[in-house]
């Protein structure tokens, strides 16, 4: 709605993980480097943790994009799977041929053959699992058994586990202590700091095609820092709402008022601010509705033929 108003080519603050907006700084590039080094060294399990919205899925997609042709990758985003269902999911992700209603043993054999075949072709197989903190213990143990497959030189399957901090608690379960011992590399994604938040906002605007003066005032950015806690997903939500408000008022810059109203409307920011005050909402919904009505009214007026205009 506001792209032409700000001279943008695309929405800069979409919450969909888009690798075009990946910023090669502020911890994410460090995490990516750790993952690339660990995978190239042939290690079995790698773990990445971080709070909700900190950018784990984007990091995962960026990793899969960066891996060369010598890698075969599989991505499973739904972790709440039974052991046999996990094997089905892995088989499908690796294009393994199997019979309908195949047993767990038959699936394991089919996956093993596929892994050996890929190894003979010089391929390294990487399995990326998202939201692993929700994966049942039995399924995690099945995953560990699957990684037992190896040659004299390296594993036939490497696994990258992405999860919220609760994953660390899950891994303390004695039933999967062998899996925990096999995690050789770990990285914990942190929220963005003050400097990184400003760089993050500028970076996304630049990728989206913004070339004018600073779109967000310093006061708006300070408010953004206080209310987002440095969580990228919250930053995106707040910036998008603030831009909508400024657009509705015909403003070319987002100021403190716009960001405050955006924060008041965002449930996730409650309690993040330094004062700890709870806000009432949805204030912004009224503003956006009013703005939308104004825009629609203008469009409607422009589309009505004026008497005598073509005479």
Q: Where are the domains of the chain?
A: 27-189, 193-303
- pTM given for the model: 0.82
Angle at 222 between CA 62 and CA 252, to 5 degrees: 85
Question: Architecture of domain 27-189 in CATH?
Answer: 3-Layer(aba) Sandwich (3.40)
pLDDT tens by residue, 157-210? 999 999 999 999 999 999 999 999 999 899 999 999 999 999 999 999 999 999
3-state SS, one letter per residue, for the chain: CCCCCCCCCCCCCCCCCCHHHCCCCCCHHHHHHHHHHHHHCCCCEEEEEECCCCCHHHHHHHHHHHCCCCEEEEEECCCCCCHHHHHHHHHHHCCCCCCCCCCHHHHHHHHHHHHHHHHHCCCEEEEEECCHHHCCHHHHHHHHHHCCCECCCCECCEEEEEECCHHHHHCCCHHHHHHHHCEEEEEEECCCCHHHHHHHHHHHHHHCCCCCCCCECHHHHHHHHHHHCCCHHHHHHHHHHHHHHHHHCCCCCECHHHHHHHHHHCHHHCCCCCCCCCCCCCHHHHHHHHHHHHHHHHHHHHHCCCCCCCC
Q: Which fold has domain 193-303?
A: Helicase, Ruva Protein; domain 3 (1.10.8)
Output the pLDDT for position 148.
82
Q: Which residues pair with 76 in a beta bridge?
A: 129
Q: 274 pLDDT exceeds 50? A: no
Output the pLDDT for position 104.
87
Q: What is the mean pLDDT of residues 92-96?
A: 92
Q: 23 pLDDT exceeds 60? A: yes
More confident: 12 or 271: 12
Contact 128, 12 (CB under 8 A): no
pLDDT tens by residue, 69-86? 899 999 998 888 999 899
Selection from 1-5, 25-29, 79-83, 235-239 with the highest mean pLDDT: 235-239
Rg of the chain in Å (alpha carbons): 24
Output the pLDDT for position 272.
53
Alpha-carbon distances of 297 from 1, 98, 294, rounded to whole Å: 14, 59, 5
Q: What is the mean pLDDT of residues 44-51?
A: 92
Q: What is the mean pLDDT of residues 253-266?
A: 94
Distance CA 46, CA 30 (A): 14
């Amino acid at each position: 709605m506001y792209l032409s108003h700000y001279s943008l080519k695309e929405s800069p603050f979409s919450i969909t993980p888009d690798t075009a907006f990946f910023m090669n700084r502020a911890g994410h590039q460090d995490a990516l480097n750790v993952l690339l080094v660990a995978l190239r060294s042939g290690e079995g399990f790698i773990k990445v943790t971080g709070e909700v919205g900190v950018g784990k899925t984007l990091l995962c997609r960026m990793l899969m994009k960066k891996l060369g042709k010598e890698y075969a990758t599989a991505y499973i985003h739904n972790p709440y799977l039974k052991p046999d269902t996990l094997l089905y999911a892995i088989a499908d992700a690796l294009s393994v041929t199997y019979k309908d209603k195949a047993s767990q043993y038959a699936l394991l054999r089919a996956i093993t053959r596929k892994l050996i075949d890929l190894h003979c072709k010089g391929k390294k197989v990487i399995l990326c699992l998202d939201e692993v903190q929700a994966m049942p213990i039995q399924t995690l143990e099945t995953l560990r058994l699957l990684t037992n497959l190896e040659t004299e030189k390296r594993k036939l399957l490497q696994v990258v586990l992405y999860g919220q901090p609760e994953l660390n608690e899950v891994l303390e379960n004695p039933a999967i202590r062998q899996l925990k011992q096999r995690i050789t590399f770990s990285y914990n994604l942190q929220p963005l700091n003050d400097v990184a938040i400003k760089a993050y906002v500028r970076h996304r605007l630049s990728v989206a095609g913004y070339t004018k003066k600073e779109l967000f005032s310093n006061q708006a950015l300070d408010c953004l820092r206080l209310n987002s806690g440095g969580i990228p997903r919250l930053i995106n939500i707040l910036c998008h709402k603030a831009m909508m408000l400024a657009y509705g008022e015909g403003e070319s810059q987002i100021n403190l008022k716009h960001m405050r109203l955006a924060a008041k409307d965002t449930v996730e920011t409650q309690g993040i601010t330094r004062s700890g005050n709870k806000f009432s909402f949805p204030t912004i919904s009224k503003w956006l509705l009013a703005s939308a009505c104004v825009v629609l009214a203008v469009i409607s007026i422009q589309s009505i033929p004026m008497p005598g205009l073509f005479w």
